[in-house]
Chain A
Amino acid sequence: NAGVMQNPRHLVRRRGQEARLRCSPMKGHSHVYWYRQLPEEGLKFMVYLQKENIIDESGMPKERFSAEFPKEGPSILRIQQVVRGDSAAYFCASSPLAGGQFSYEQYFGPGTRLTVT
């Protein structure tokens, strides 16, 4: 059973370009989360998605950032018109179910390291 997969592992973009980060959750997992780790800072929640639904995007910057998790295919985190401050490690996690008193463990992918030049 493959773990959470993210690609690319490393991505270099010039200022103003678009960055697309992909996340394939573990088999059987229908919940995806994106987190960002800025240099020398802790991990911060960005967005929580289920298939075809954004559940919580309270951690997403209001502009230039968007996320989707289509019925088929991986979840995509899209950053338009990247700036140097977007340089960070972006981690995706998945879990099989959420709700009630118990929330299931989140399993993390290896991350995508975005460098904006």
Chain B
Amino acid sequence: KQEVTQIPAALSVPEGENLVLNCSFTDSAIYNLQWFRQDPGKGLTSLLLIQSSQREQTSGRLNASLDKSSGRSTLYIAASQPGDSATYLCAVNGAGNMLTFGGGTRLMVKP
């Protein structure tokens, strides 16, 4: 059974810092991995999708890497801003095409 863990569970940083969110998964047989953002009381916004054959994806200030063999992904956020404050979710898509989510990292960026 696939299990996804995100570390840290919560993170508070001053504006402008570069930061790294970590995601690990137990079963490396995945099709892809998605990073999402969720604002309080809102839905999920897809940030980046990495196919299993890819090593990384970039979008603006966000960069996600994937090491399938070791079961790890990182989301790098450059020059953080208060508007980045949200919960970041990692989800892996494996057999059956269902997403297995991690518990999320709650990020607070202070002005």
- The interface of chain A, by Cβ under 8 A from chain B, is 31, 33, 35, 41-45, 48, 55-56, 58-59, 91, 93, 95, 98, 101-103, 105-111, 113
> For residue B52, which residues in chain A have a CB less than 8 angstroms away from its CB?
101
Which DSSP category, helix, strand, loop or mixed, fits chain B's interface?
strand
Contact check, B31 vs A103: say whether CB atoms are below 8 A apart.
yes
The segment from B18-26, B70-78, B94-102 that touches chain A is B94-102
Q: Mark B79-102, 1 if CB is under 8 A from A, else 0.
A: 000000000010101001111111
Contact check, B43 vs A33: say whether CB atoms are below 8 A apart.
no
CB contact between B34 and one of A42, A58, A105 (< 8 Å): that residue: A105
7 contacts between A and B (CB under 8 A): A35-B101, A41-B103, A42-B101, A43-B44, A45-B99, A93-B99, A98-B97
Contact check, A59 vs B98: say whether CB atoms are below 8 A apart.
yes
> For residue B98, which residues in chain A have a CB less than 8 angstroms away from its CB?
33, 45, 48, 56, 59
What residue in chain A is nearest B44 (Cβ atoms)? A108
- Beyond contacts A33-B98, A42-B89, A105-B46: 8 other A-B pairs, Cβ-Cβ < 8 A, are A33-B99, A35-B99, A42-B101, A44-B101, A48-B96, A55-B96, A106-B34, A107-B46
For this complex, into which size category does the number of interface residues on chain B fall? 20 to 34
CB contact between B97 and one of A44, A48, A91, A108 (< 8 Å): that residue: A48
Cα A52 to Cα B30 with chains together (Å): 27
